Structure 1
Amino acid sequence: MTYQAATISNHLNTLPQLPGWVTSGRAETLEDVAFLSGAALNHLHLVLGRVEVPQALLRDRLALRAAEACMAFSGRPERAGELRDAIHLLRPSDLPGPAGETYLAWRRAVERSVSVKALSRALPTFESCQIATWLDTGKGLPVARAAMVLEAVLTEVPRADVLALILADIALAQALGWGHLMPLLATGLKRADLRKQGDDLRFACHLALISSVVEVVRLSADLARRAAHLKAVAPKLRAKGAGEAVEMFLTRDAVAPSALPLPDRAARRLCDRLVELGAVRELTGRDTFRLYGV
């Protein structure tokens, strides 16, 4: 390991570790599981406050995972690879289809602030006043508020799983004082949980958050390491527009060479160089129509 790599690794080891008792604790009552999820969310709040964590990249990666979970809820087969293709290989005249629309909804939601005005742009098929009404349904502590919003939306629009989960995560983010939503509930809940109500739904949301936080903390540390390495090798890139390209990789789950601010051949060479330096990965395993990500 080089001195620079060792320095990065040691620095990132200072990210706070999730206490083992949070995940090993046996939660049998609503009070127990609420205590554990509160501890998990508090820990996540500390992790998200660290400058080493690439926030926009983390949210975009979680948007992909949330969209994948929503596809599973609806019984559709699309997984991460298909979802990426549905958006990043979309031509101007193409429609994204149901899977692409789901992924786009999550991506738009994580890009914008948690204000109602911003949400109305992320969810254009719903009026801002309706979004505000649903969010106002949530009362009490953060997880209770999120569960109440989830239940309210699904009661009024039973098939709107994506909308309900986005707004529930928005309610959670607002209650926690976060500026952007962090997709947590969709990746932790089970399909059957979406039909629960009252205390049963709150219990399921608490459990979902505990499992999701474990994964998000792990992902945060991984992306922080990868982002630090990309920043470290960036000075070696001589292509004009390389700096802007690096910024794109630091904020997006996946990038097509054609989206980079370079001529086509130069963009492909830059991606190959970054792969060679271990700074990004090729995500598709294909020889053509490739996508790259940190």
Structure 2
Amino acid sequence: MTFAPPNHSRTLDPQPGMPAWIRGARSDSLEDVAFSSGAALSQLHLVLGCEDVPQALLRDRLALRAAEACVAFSGRPERAAELRDAVHLLRPGDLPGPAGEMYLAWRRAVERPVSVKALARALPHVEASLIASWLDAGRGPPVTRVAMVLEAVWAEAPRADVPALVLADAALAQALGWTHVVPLVAAGLTRADLRKRGEELRMACHRALLASAAEALRLSADLSRRVAHLKAVAPRLRARGAGEAVEMFLIRDAVAPAALPLPDRAARRLCDRLVELGAVRELTGRDTFRLYGV
């Protein structure tokens, strides 16, 4: 199964949803599950070619889901809120901690087009030659490649779950002609799946991609609506630097006021104004150290 690269000049309906016959697929047959996951990836492929979908923002939010899954696999307690704090409230000289490092790896993995160099930047503790070797281990149809890359990494580095899962998504992107890593594999797997090999692992990957593609479609529709509203209210913002600030919200899962290109007080006022306009949400529920996102 191969797809042509997405044509980002197309304007498609970004809210097609997952057909019921795909969502409701239940089978113990590898052939049937493979057919369903292929259909789900085909639906997602169309959305990734739609210019109305905020692609960078979608990838960044999926990176958070993938990081949350990896943190859970490691037995750590941090979830999405703590991961956002660990990365977006990081001050110069601070260390993000183990969970924050996982999140940073995923964020860096989705930022740049897929390449060994970009993946080495995301996984600084893994040699580029090893990344290239593991990616080359994948052969055959896309999901088979995913499983083969996972097995190749775990054979040499049994505890390297984050590199294995990042490279699995990179192999999927390369197989499907996607320009960037789209985090799908990790969030759909269970901890028990990480111990599977051979046909059992391929079955787990198909099921993971079926579930994650459905979630990515739902998320893309939600983000498309929210981004359209943000763009609609943007002309009403009068603060200097507001345009650059809006651009940051269009590509980042979460933004701290301190990260915006405005003085501190002006940045906080802008965020409050965007919340008032229903264009962004305050994500923490706190009175201080707040984070905002579409």
Q: CA offset at residue 14 of structure 1?
A: 6.0
1:65-144 maps to which residues of 2 (within 5 A)?
65-144=65-144
C-alpha displacement at 1:34, in angstroms?
0.5
Secondary structure, aligned partner of 1:278? coil
Q: What percent of counterpart residues are identical?
A: 76
1:47-58, aligned counterparts within 5 Å?
Answer: 47-58=47-58
Q: Is the 8 A contact 2:134 2:149 kept in 1?
A: yes
Matches of 1:13 and 1:175, distance apart in 2: 24
Name the counterpart of 1:232: 232
Gaps of 5+ in 1: 1-10
What's the counterpart of residue 25 of structure 1? 25
Structure 2 CA distance for aligned equivalents of residues 273 and 208 of structure 1: 39
In 2, distance between residues paired with 1:115 and 1:181? 10
Q: Distance in 2 between matches of 1:276 and 1:66?
A: 31
Distance 1:94 1:44 in 2: 38
Query: Is this contact kept in 2: 1:113–1:119, CA < 8 A?
Result: no
Q: CA RMSD in A?
A: 1.2
The answer to whether the Cα contact below 8 Å between 2:17 and 2:218 also exists between their aligned partners in 1 is no
Contact 1:63 1:103 (C-alpha < 8 Å) held by counterparts: yes
Match for residue 274 of structure 2? 274
When normalised by structure 1's length, the TM-score is 0.95
Within 5 A, what are the aligned runs for 1:1-294? 15-294=15-294
* Aligned pairs, number: 284
Tell me the distance in 2 between the aligned counterparts of 1:135 and 1:212.
Answer: 21
SS in 1 for 2:36: helix
Query: Cα deviations across residues 28-87 of structure 1 (Å, max 9, x unaligned)?
Result: 211010000000000000011111110000000011111100111111100001000001
CA distance in 1, matches of 2:176, 2:12: 25
Asked whether the equivalents of residues 134 and 152 of structure 2 are also in contact (C-alpha less than 8 Å), the reply is yes
Query: Contact between 1:12 and 1:224, CA under 8 Å: does it hold in 2?
Result: no
Deviation at 1:16, TM superposition (A): 2.3
Unaligned runs of 5+ residues in structure 2 are 1-10
Cα distance in 1 for residues equivalent to 2:248 and 2:50: 20
Taking the aligned partners of 1:245 and 1:80, their CA distance within structure 2 comes to 23
Deviations along 1:140-166, one digit per CA (max 9) or x if unpaired, are 000000110011101211111111000
How big is the shift at 1:15?
3.1
Whether the 8 Å contact between 1:12 and 1:221 is mirrored in structure 2 is no
Shift of 1:17: 2.9
More helix as a share of residues: 1
